[in-house]
Amino acid sequence: MSNELLEYIGSQIKMFRKIKKLTIEELAKMINKSKSTVSKYESGEIAIDIVTLFDISRALNINIVNLIDYEDEKDTDTDQTYFWETRHLYMYHQIGKKIYCSLLKLRKEESSNKALATLYFNVSDINNPNSCECVYQGKMNLYNNILNFNLTNCLYDSESVLINFFIPMKKVTFAVGLISGLEGISLRPTSYKVVLSKDPLPDEKQRELLQISKDVIKKLKNEHVFRIDD
């Protein structure tokens, strides 16, 4: 367990360092450590004291939880819980004919209906969050029938996303909503239909749920409102 934990923390440091476009040497200078020491941190060869972990998190401009949110093989989720009452969720959106999958990690606050949330956006391997295109961090909020996420890009503080879902009273296995933010290339305000699920969805189900109905397109033309009704 200890070796796996050190390797996990090291992989998280390496991932966020690369997202920040920092070299090992640059990070080492920022936390007053040698290049070889930081290299050993990232490979999981040596343990990291709590003060250094805080120094690293500040240098990378992330919450320290993002470095230590290790999950063991035991999963406490049961089929009796609501789909968002879990430690990770799968989110799908479509651009053209291609469907992208993102991963959401949640760390709940026991005293409220909120949770710390980290979004690993556009992963190439759904079992490996580190294969993502970029990372957002923030909070999940639950208000009766409304579930939303307010997240900020770990690399660019100027970019944030809002993800909104309407949750029906009955228990469901997924939710359909909207993600709003800036398009990566043009930096123009953009919204996408998204599907959030506790478990990975089959390809056919992804395409079915991400379709935009004629009624939604009609309302967009007539009312200038992109409303997700299904």
pLDDT score for 78: 47
* 78 within some domain: no
pLDDT digits (tens, 9 = 90+) for 57-77: 999 988 888 888 776 655 444
* 75 within some domain: no
Which residue, among 113, 8, 4, 132, has the nearest Cα to 65 in the 3D structure?
8
What CA–CA distance (Å, rounded) separates 141 from 116? 9
Q: In the chain, which residues have pLDDT < 70? A: 1, 71-81, 109-112, 230
Q: Compute CA distances 194 → 32, 44, 53, 81, 207, whole Å.
A: 43, 36, 34, 22, 11
pLDDT score for 50: 93
pLDDT digits (tens, 9 = 90+) for 79-109: 556 777 888 899 999 999 999 999 999 987 6
Cross-strand bridge partners of residue 107:
116
C-alpha torsion sign, points 44, 46, 50, 56: negative
* 42 within some domain: yes
pLDDT score for 62: 86
What CA–CA distance (Å, rounded) separates 148 from 140? 6
* 83 within some domain: no
Question: In terms of domains, do 92 and 194 share one?
Answer: yes
Question: In terms of domains, do 125 and 169 share one?
Answer: yes
pLDDT score for 72: 60
83 and 72 Cβ atoms separated by less than 8 Å: no
pLDDT score for 111: 63
* 41 within some domain: yes
pLDDT score for 81: 67
Question: In terms of domains, do 116 and 216 share one?
Answer: yes
Question: In terms of domains, do 107 and 196 share one?
Answer: yes
pLDDT score for 197: 94
Question: In terms of domains, do 122 and 207 share one?
Answer: yes
Name the pTM for this structure.
Answer: 0.82
* 73 within some domain: no
Place of tokens 């470095």: 67
In the chain, the number of structural domains is 2
End-of-domain residue from the set 36, 68, 100: 68
Which range marks the domain in which residue 183 is found? 88-223
pLDDT score for 54: 94
Question: In terms of domains, do 203 and 113 share one?
Answer: yes
pLDDT score for 66: 84
How confident is the prediction for the chain on average, in pLDDT?
88
What CA–CA distance (Å, rounded) separates 174 from 202? 13
Question: In terms of domains, do 93 and 202 share one?
Answer: yes
* 228 within some domain: no
Question: In terms of domains, do 31 and 124 share one?
Answer: no
**Max Cα-Cα span within the chain:** 62
Whichever domain contains 189, its CATH number is 2.40.128
Question: In terms of domains, do 42 and 115 share one?
Answer: no
Angle at 74 between CA 2 and CA 146, to 5 degrees: 115
Within the chain, residue ranges assigned H as helices are 2-19, 24-30, 35-43, 50-60, 65-68, 203-210, 214-223
Identity of the residue numbered 197: S
pLDDT score for 40: 94
pLDDT score for 80: 52
